[in-house]
Structure 1
């Protein structure tokens, strides 16, 4: 079964969770690790001859070392590019944490060194009227990797997200800084230093801006050894 499993969340939507996840998978593969990944819920899927397909899920499939069917990587595929609970309601479907936990446990039983589970949006994204996405990693007691975009406001968002994760009883295993724009934010170095000193968990790397993102090249900017310790 998968020896190490982590949930990947971000401070918000569009912060680079998929890119960071794919780069982590590539970095782990460079260490000779067998990797798996899944994005249990994906909205914004495209119609294809094979059914609904999500670009983020396909990126994960390309980056991981082991082969899986698409439905194992993205079991809940929703067409509208809107909040998952709204997209599910429009499709006449219901998403529950219990159902997502079942999907994840199925992949945890497969042989691998690392399993990454990418969330949707941020830590408190709703699954339904009663549950947020956080209920799934909490049920699995899965350590969390936090993705922080280097832009104005990221310190507040990162600290609040880390606080919420810990309040829910989980560990922030590490965090990755991602540059979402070509032009660096003002006072980037000062922002990084503050985050490094106050997030109280290892910074696994700082991903540079790439016009055409290449997870394999970005893997060189990451140190993933902390994911395999203990």
Structure 2
């Protein structure tokens, strides 16, 4: 299965989530790539759209390799990948310095995307967490743990594509996992899209402004 772009992926994902339409929902996107996908899901399900800010903690000199991730919140949630930390030889000082930089980027994005808007109250709602795909799962794990700490009535992970091993590792973090395609030969998320251009900050702001406002 391939997707023309994130909008098409979101529409297909929304169809797979149609059984949740009658519940009290909130759709949470992981910026930036997850926002156009989640916008289609929220629109189809008649749910408010909000975001869950999370950043990968990349290894020194190998930023694509995830030492862990940090997620936004009253108390930021940090997930460590101890096996990768050990394999890369990253020191505690290096980890903490990179984590601090990514936490600062989360704050920048929070102000850019949300301003002073309060986060959606998840209590009594089923939270559907959406991204455009998952590779290692480090950022999604942090996101799910951060969302769970806000005490939603239910927690659903929904993505167009992810490798089977990553999905298996995340099943314990959510009440349900929805993924449209998960082949054993998984290489990268971008391989499943004809158009996988980077989503800009302004696009995120515009999509959030056009979406149904999140309520608290």
Same fold at TM > 0.5: no
**TM-score bracket relative to the smaller structure:** 0.3 to 0.5
TM score, norm. by length of structure 1: 0.37
TM score, norm. by length of structure 2: 0.39
